[in-house]
Structure formats: structure tokens, C-alpha cells
Structure 1
């Protein structure tokens, strides 16, 4: 495990009190200084909240224009945005977002889990959305500073965290489908407990090939809001069938792709009689999840069974279930982390997926949590990077 800290030059701004700081020089085509304006009225912090419903006292904003480039990053009191009614993000969906978490360890230190992967994915999404490039390391440093200011919001718990939502939107103030000449990058934070209300219970999925989440040549591998908004209709139909999430299928052979907003894994005895942990490959329709990659890294280091990125179909899954070759099936994501799957409603039949033992899911959840909160190091790999927010 790489235990890394960020470094940045701090200076007092003349005539300003000490939380106003000049922060980290960035490249000439971006903002030069990070300025901090603290809220005069901090909110009380609730003990327990629903995911994404209570936000911290401050936010980070950085404006960009074609004529002036990146402006100074600003940490300011949390508040509403002012947008032109013709804003391109509202009319044409020119926007994207990311999701990562900060964890508090038993030692009191705050850690970000593999944030450079989030920055890399965000940069890839920005390129696909025709939004301007940004300095990934400098944005990450600004996020670190925001978290440092909001550190009292990070729960003292291994089962809860502070969720970070970087967002990037086109703010072009005119109609017409074109590359935006103005944009806004901002970051907000909220408390995060359990993503699902089932606690430790397995979720149920509804599988129907009539709906498609993403397709070849599309933007399914980018974290764009349109990928989620267009999934709502199927999500509510899944609930009509008594299921919590959609199992997204693709193509004539009904390839298994994702589960709701999660990457999906199947632990089974495959057709060749081998014990295998399999997940669909990153072929353009699968979101490259940070938790997904971490699971692959960790289980490959276990070296206890075959770990594969390969296509899986509903026909293969149904056959394996009938032959009792399925051991576990689960979804993964930053918000949900590891989520066991218990049932799949498919073609009028409720398929039961074994999940009582949860040997792999519980083991992975513990190992990931231990790494995230700094309870253990990951000496065998340089890939599981944890960045220490504390100085």
C-alpha cells in the first residue's frame, strides 16, 4: 500500500485571518491560488442521516472560460449555484460527476482511498463530454484542503464515512449543441452511512433485456448524469416486481453488465470446473469502478482461485444456478462498497442466489475497510493507494 501525503505551499493573505490561505501553485493554464472563505454559521452535525441528504458547511468551486482559462479555486460556504437559464448542462446534459469517500481510522487520521483513480476517471469523462482538461493532482490537493476544513464531519465509525462529490458542468449561456465556452467544476461533501436500507441483507435484482443501460460506442464507461437519469424508469419497474435494483443486460446473448449503479461479480465453479471470480470486462459499456479494480487487485493477490474479466450471460448464470455451481454474487461501488445479491427475477421466475455464507463478500468488505481506515497495510501491492488527509 502506498501511504502518500500531499504537499503544498501555504502563505497568509495580507490583512486576512489565518484560515484564508494561498494554496499550491498550479500550471499556468489553470487557477493560481486556492482561497478559503469560512462559513460564519456552521451547521450542527446530525448523528445519523440518509445518504446524500445532509451536506457540510463548505464547497469548492472553480470556474473556467475559453477566453480566460481556469480561475482561482475557491472554498466558500455551501450554497446554491447561479446558472443562466440556457446553461448547456441543463439543456444538453454536458456534465459529469465523481464519487469518493474519506474515512476516519482508529488512529484519528483521515484517509482517501485510491483518489487518483477517481481523478483519472473524471478526466476521461471530461474529455468525452468535451469539457476542458484540468490538473488532476491540483484538484486532488484542493479536495484534500476542503476535507481538512470539514474534518469534524467525518464520522468516528468504521461503518460510515464522508462522501465527496466532484461535479463538472458546462455553463455555456446560449442554446446550441456545441463545446461549452464556460464551465464550472465544484465539489460538495455529505455524510454517508449505509447506501441501501437492507443493512446486511442481500439485494434483489430484476433482469429484463428490454432496457439497456449502455451500448458500444456510447458513454457507459463515463460517470455522466445521463447514464443515471435514464435508468430511473427501469428502476421503478423493478420495484413493481418487488426488486430493489435492475440487473442490466446487453445484446442478443443477454450479457450481464452491471447491477443498478454497481459493478457485478460472480463467484462460481465455471464451465471448466474451476473456481472463479468473474466480472464483465471494461469494453466501453462498463464503468471502471475503483472498488471493482480494488477487488480484482486483492483477489489476484490471494491467488486462491481464478480471477477473470470476461463476458457472462444470463444463460450461463441460469445453468450454473440449476447445477448449484454458484457460490456468491455481489455488486461493488463506492457508495455501496460490497453488496451481496440474493434474488434475481428473470422471465417470470425468481432465481435464488446463494448468499448465506458470504465468505468472499464478508472477507473482501473487511479487507477493504481495514485498508481504508488504516487498520492494516497492503504490503504486497503498490496499487492499493491510500492518501493521508492529515498533516
Structure 2
């Protein structure tokens, strides 16, 4: 049974953030890489934390990804993540690698931890060298800011943004072995968003007690149904990274898939990732609406996911929703080319609560009612394939004139 179908008590912490789990602090600072906004952030854990990560599938990968892979590979432990925005440090050759290693080295020195306990991440313009002197100066000042708890997480969140219009955070709690387990997270992403992964960075923290091997397995399990189910524009970037750190300070029994509450851990991690993924989709460049597609009745969950991603990724569907046009023909078209097993004669489609297709045939509906629904900010599309028990979801946004305006002048 899909863990999503099981009933667990996963509680949102409205004021929570990535520093809510035990052991974590954060900070953000302005170094001058960007003209006015904060542009360097750090997450710090007071103990070596079990860590795991997933990365972009783009074959062109930025220098920071190579350094983070190297760090995690050594022990599966991290104590700090240093992140700059405004410059992706991608396609920068040998100097880019050296600059990323310098960021790792300087962060390790200031926090007095081994170099391989530091992960490095960057986001911004591709193909330009880092202003490494400014970043080094920022790193030397940032440790003191981690002692400031009031707005530390918000400052970190702001420091990692590029074209984003909002900070993206999430926090949830559950109980394992009678201990309160907290999950926090922050993310950035607005354009170049497409499975697998996107031009997105996400950083997750938890105080659960879990070894790196099992944390990696848990992250791999949830990533496909969360961050890999969002799309804005069909582009996959060079820097995409999700890092999760587990301090173990909740003192639960060490988690593995043999633990009786393993599924509870998975659902809590998935819930945190899904919340961040949806916020990225809603903040798509120029977007005015969040689109969620739910597909049921597929032969399996994989097929359901294919259909959901195909629909939410269709430029024609996205444009129709922007224009409040209930053009279900574009939805059935995207279903047909998804690569999933379908039977055209058994498909039902609904836009919100308005059914437009039954058993592959159109049915009458109120165009006025559909237009009113599509004028709202959160759009649901439901598809039932009537072939099996497979279920899947995906998220995206409408495609607007502003998307072109933003990306036509991204470097200027």
C-alpha cells in the first residue's frame, strides 16, 4: 500500500522553519554579489548530521554539485551548507571548481569543522565567474549571524532567491518512538523548472535519528513524487540540488525500513518536500495560478505520474488555464502522448468539480461556471483512466505574458 494512503498524524508548524528541528541554525548576509538583496546563506548543525542529496540529471553540472558530492561521499555527514545566489558557478571550468572548493574551505575554517562536513551550492547566472573575494568576506562574517535566532531562517531563505517573488519554507512534526520529530525546509525556484529536478535548490533539516544510508533511501523514495512532479517551463538546470540533514537529537530509535514507524518518517519527509514543491510551482515566473493534476485509475503509480506530469507540463494546457478557457481537448491530448498505458474510451476528465469528459466522450457543462472556476488561483484537474489502482499527482502553473518578459531580460 502507498504510504500516502495510510493515516498518520503529520502536523504543520505554521511558524516553523529549517531551524526548528533540534541542532540547527542559519543566517543570510549581503556580500555585494547582488546589488541590494541578500546573496549568501548558511545552514549549520551543532553536531555532524547524517546527510543525503539528489542532484540535477542535466549532464552539464555546476561546480558546487561536484564539491557537495565529494563532501557527502566521504562519511555521509554534513555540519554546514554554504549557498550563494546571483551566480550559478556553472560552465566555469577549473576556476569554478577551485572557487567552490574555496567556499568549502573558508566555511569549514570559520565553523572549525572538517572540510568534507561542508556542502556548497550556487544559483544564478550561468557562465560567469564568482566574485570570490566578496563571498569569502561574507563567509568570514556569517558565523556570528547564526547566533541570531529571530529572523535567521527568513534571512537564509531570502539569500538563496533569484527571480523568486516569495520565500519558500515548510515545517511539520510527527511522533516516532514517543519522541517529537520535526522536519524543516527552505527552497528556491521560479524558472527553469522541470522534472527531473529543476533550477531549484531545497534544503531540509530534521532531528530524527537515522543513518546516512537510510536517509538517502528515504529521500530517493519521496523525490520522484514531490520535486520531480513540478514543472514551470520544461527546462532542467545545471545546479539543481536537494540536501537533507538529520541531527539525530530527537533521540528516537535509529530508523531503518525495519522500524515499525518507518512509513511515518517517509510520509513526514514527503509532506515537507511536497509543500516546498507546490510553493515553487505556484511561484513560477510570471505565474498567476497553481495547477494540480490528480490522476487515478492508472495501471500503476508510474503511469499515473506520467499522465499528471504530461498534463501539467503542456504549454497549451497552461495557456488555456491562464486564459480561463476550459479546453479539455488539450488535457486529453497531453494524456495521450504521456507514454502511459491508456484506453481512450474509458477516460474521465474534470476541471475542478466540473466534469467535461465521461468514458472518452464529451458531456455538456456550463462554460460560464468553468470560466469562473478557472479565474481562481488554485486549479485542480482530475483524470480517471479506469484501468487499475495507480495514483499520481503533479504541480505546475499557468503560462503568462510575464514569463516571456522576465526571461527575455534575465541577465540585465
| TM, length-normalised to structure 2 | 0.26
Query: Which has the bigger relative contact order, CA under 8 A and spacing at least 6?
Result: 1
Give 1 or 2: higher helix fraction.
Answer: 2
